[in-house]
A = this chain, B = another copy of it.
């Protein structure tokens, strides 16, 4: 049995705020070092930096969480259309779902297996460009992670800016992604994408 020790003071496991921006004329890899820096905490998500220490019997080592490698590889795949890094991080049987209106974006919905997930990431890269994301909430487990993020995107066909909040739950096994579920504030996305407000009756007063 492995004992996994999280140290934090006070006992706050893993809420952090991180912001990353991709600058137009810099490659994403130039910004990679940001990923491991503790972000500036806002008043809303006051937090403490934390260290993840994994003890294997006598051996103690600090290790980078798979989420950071996955995040770098995913954004590189989307913005630079370089799929090599992300391919190495996908489990052969990876489960993938982005819950949202598949009528609007065909890359929404569920996929299973490395080939299908690589294809959907390629499609995302053909349609969107990531400019910036702010990690508003984050929780890290040993082989799992969940975040709420705010993204600034561009829809490539219309060159329209899109600001979007998403939540994801990820699981890893031996450093590879085995499960990724994403929920998006889909109505907000629809209005921004179609470019006009959708009239809604008021249900609750």
Q: Can you tell how many copies of this chain the complex includes?
A: 2
Q: Which of A129-150 contact B (CB under 8 A)?
A: 136-137, 139, 141-146, 148
Q: Which of A152-167 contact B (CB under 8 A)?
A: 155, 157, 165-167
The reply to whether A14 and B99 contact each other, CB–CB distance below 8 Å, is: no
Chain B residues whose C-beta falls within 8 Å of the C-beta of A5 in the assembled complex: 3-6
The reply to whether A200 and B190 contact each other, CB–CB distance below 8 Å, is: yes
Chain B residues whose C-beta falls within 8 Å of the C-beta of A45 in the assembled complex: 179
Please tell me the number of chain A residues within 8 Å of chain B, measured between CB atoms: 66
Q: Is A23 an interface residue (CB 8 A)?
A: no
Alpha-carbon separation in the docked complex, A166 to B181 (Å): 12
Nearest first, the 6 A-B pairs at minimum CB distance are: A13-B141, A186-B187, A167-B167, A137-B169, A146-B146, A11-B142
Shortest C-beta distance, A202 to chain B (Å), equals: 6
Q: Is A193 an interface residue (CB 8 A)?
A: yes
Chain B residues whose C-beta falls within 8 Å of the C-beta of A101 in the assembled complex: 187-188, 200
Alpha-carbon separation in the docked complex, A155 to B203 (Å): 9
Among A30-38, A74-82, A83-91, A104-112, the stretch that binds chain B is A104-112
Chain B residues whose C-beta falls within 8 Å of the C-beta of A155 in the assembled complex: 203
At the interface, is chain A mostly helix, strand, loop or mixed?
Answer: mixed
- Knowing A2-B10, A104-B202, say if A181 contacts B136 (CB, 8 Å): yes
Q: Is A62 an interface residue (CB 8 A)?
A: no
Output the residue of A100, A171, A189 with the most chain B CB within 10 A: A171
Shortest C-beta distance, A93 to chain B (Å), equals: 11
Mask, A184-202, CB within 8 Å of B = 1, is 1111111001100010111
Q: Which residue of B lies closest to A178 (CB)?
A: B46
- Knowing A101-B187, A203-B157, say if A95 contacts B144 (CB, 8 Å): no
Alpha-carbon separation in the docked complex, A19 to B118 (Å): 32
